[in-house]
Amino acid sequence: MAIKNVKKDKLHKKNVKNKVTLQDQKALALWAADCAEQVLFYFEKECPKDTNPRKAIEAARKWACGEITVGEARKAAFASHSSARSVKNTSAVAAARSAAHAAATAHVASHAPHAAEYAFKAVKSTNFKS
């Protein structure tokens, strides 16, 4: 049963990927950047001198506006993932990963939801109580 679900998920992702236009992908990159920006302060509080996650968010926006290439956005994504590996604080890690996935959306649109998921993890891991 689990194998069938995996195959079904892969087929669904393939169909979604084929239907995402470049305009859609750019909109997703901007949305992902907005998600990541909301939690960036968790990372910057832990590592104020490390600008990689902020640069990844900027790269997502610049790519969506046609100012940089996919390769440049991917480079920013990899740098932000590297920054995530350099910290121990769970919220900071999640914030850096959110930024990385925002930039990686330039390469593959399916990275966008991961930016939102990591932003949620950043908030959730603070044990925030409303």
Q: What is the pLDDT of residue 130?
A: 44
Q: How confident is the model at residue 19 (pLDDT cuts 50, 70, 90)?
A: confident
- Asked if residue 6 has pLDDT above 70, the reply is no
- Summarize the confidence of residues 47-73 as an average pLDDT: 98
Is residue 89 left, alpha or beta, with left meaning phi > 0 and alpha meaning psi from -120 to 50?
beta
**Average pLDDT over all residues of the chain:** 89
